[in-house]
Amino acid sequence: MVQNNLGSAYADLARYQDPIENLQESIRAYQQTLRFRNPEIDPLRYASTQNNLGTAYWNLAQHQQPEVYLKQAIALTLKRCNITTQSKNH
């Protein structure tokens, strides 16, 4: 099944480059696969794709920057060009 293999390929690629984008592509491909897999006819293949989908979501959770880091990144960028969030209001 091409879409399922595509999902795995993106998931593999995510280990080397642009993890968030490739994981999102991988999730899209797995979701596409699930539309065409019938759990009543081929339960184990259907389950295997659900398992892979779960692992892609799990990986995305590892890469997602918590909000606090993003706020720190913003504060640091502003500091580098001598801007504070307060002075922007004037």
Partner 1 sequence: MIHNNLGTAYWNLAQQETPQEWLQLAIDAYQIALRYRTLQAAPPAFAATQNNLGTAYWHLASHTSENPEQRRNYLQKAIYAYETTLMAVQQIAQTQPLPLAFDPIATHNNLGLAHYQFATDAQIPLEPEDRSLHLKAALDQHLTALQGWQERPELYQTVFNNVLQTIRTLYEHEGLAGQNFAFSKVPSHLLPEIMTRL
**Is residue 64 at the binding interface for partner 1, with CB under 8 A as the rule?**
yes
For residue 11, CA distances in Å to 32, 34, 87 come to 15, 16, 43
**Is residue 50 at the binding interface for partner 1, with CB under 8 A as the rule?**
yes
The one among 1, 12, 21, 65 contacting partner 1 by CB under 8 A: 65
CA angle 24/30/33 to nearest 5° reads 145
The one among 12, 15, 73, 84 contacting partner 1 by CB under 8 A: 73
Contact 24, 49 (CB under 8 A): no
Residues near partner 1, by CB under 8 A: 39, 43-44, 46-48, 50-51, 53-55, 57-58, 60-62, 64-67, 70-71, 73-74, 77-78, 80-81
